[in-house]
Amino acid sequence: MASKDLTVKTVWAKHFVDSGNPTADDFEIVETELKNEVGEGNFLIQIQVMSVDPYLRGTLKSKNGSEGRKVMTGFVAGKVLQSKNSDWKQGDFFGAALPFSTFQLITPMHLEKTSFWKLTGMVDETTLSRGIGALGMPGSTAYGGFIDILKPNEGETLFVSAASGAVGNLVGQLAKFFGVKTVIGSCGGPEKCKLIKEKFGYDAAIDYKTVKSAKELEAKLREVDGEGIDMYFENVGGMHFDAAFSCLKTKGRIAICGTISNYNDAQAPKNEIDISSMIYTAQRIEGFVCMPWLTGAKGNFLKDMSGWINEGKVKVEETFVDGVEQWPNAFCSLFTSGSSHTGKLVVRV
């Protein structure tokens, strides 16, 4: 008897959103059918968790050259349901960059064009969400940016923006057991400030909602360390960058992985820096993405991070939303100042 077809739910963007906060009405969930058949070399997967990430805001802008109406694609984690591929077995757990569709047939061509990483042995059904968090893009961003871009030294001072978020909370935790002397984080509201100090080991927290300018933020940073900062992990942009650069010591380093403060702008405002001042101070600013560490091309991210989690050195912070239908609302919440989520925002399908 033929296997019953699978009902697939997929998140679609309806059109471009060049500026302003996106809303749930800019998306729709489309149902289709997928034949429950697996050919030689292929495997069938079920997506169990979908990531909600600020960088996806850029895919909604017309300047990226794609179609306005399109399937949303991002980081996911799930399980192999059936397999005729020697590298993937039924029951294997994985993380991947794929369309936000609940069931998918993966062919060797898919494997050549996208990123898959095996999570079997590192997670189970209850911890699979780590594959899009601490053992996924946010974790590898924190790992690569902190260890290889910032290159920390014991006794230094680090500033992290969006410190309660998916990347920022991990950076703070790594910093403390790598010997950074003072770790300063910025986040929105007293509850998040309390969280990063009590749970993630931050030495000081700045509520950016109480700060109106880069000068005020710089003053807050210098209240913690009057000599300035050695490192800045950039997730926000805008006044955060200006304040951090003003406080940056000789041989200071800035790692840039995100600028969420301007993602909703049609044209992002430009930061002004005096590059001549960087010559004799030997300062360095470097942008980066996570993929070299996530794919294993650099470092030992999956082995190291899973070990630190098991040893209790890294605590996993997640906020869950249930149902693929809620992905649009969860995504839009990233850009509202009243959002209460902390750590990795996860949609459980």
At 149-177, the pLDDT tens digits run: 999 999 999 999 999 999 999 999 999 99
Determine the Cα–Cα distance for residues 246 and 218; give it in Å rounded to an integer.
Answer: 7
Helix (H, G, I), strand (E, B) or coil at 213: coil
What is the structure's pLDDT at 338?
A: 67
pLDDT of residue 190: 96
CA distances from 317 to 47, 138, 167, 306, 309 (A): 21, 12, 10, 14, 11
pLDDT at residue 341 is higher than 90: no
pLDDT at 57 > cutoff 80:
yes
Tell which residue, 310, 292, 319, 343, has the closest CA to residue 122. Answer: 310
pLDDT of residue 1: 41
User: Which pairing describes strands 93-99 and 73-83: parallel, antiparallel, or unpaired?
Assistant: antiparallel
pLDDT (tens digit, 9 = 90+) per residue, 1-24? 457 899 999 999 999 999 999 999
What number is the average pLDDT over the span 128-135?
98
User: Taking the C-alpha atoms of 166, 170, 101 and 330 in order, what is their torsion angle to the nearest 10 degrees?
Assistant: -20
Of 261, 198, 202, 266, give the one whose Cα is nearest residue 234: 261
* CA 56/CA 316 separation, integer angstroms: 22
Reading the block at residue 78, the tokens are 């799930």
Mean of all residue pLDDT scores within the chain: 95
**pLDDT, mean of residues 298-304:** 97
* Residue of 139 and 262 predicted with greater confidence: 139
pLDDT > 70? residue 250: yes
Q: Are 123 and 94 in contact (CB under 8 A)?
A: no
Which pTM was predicted? 0.94
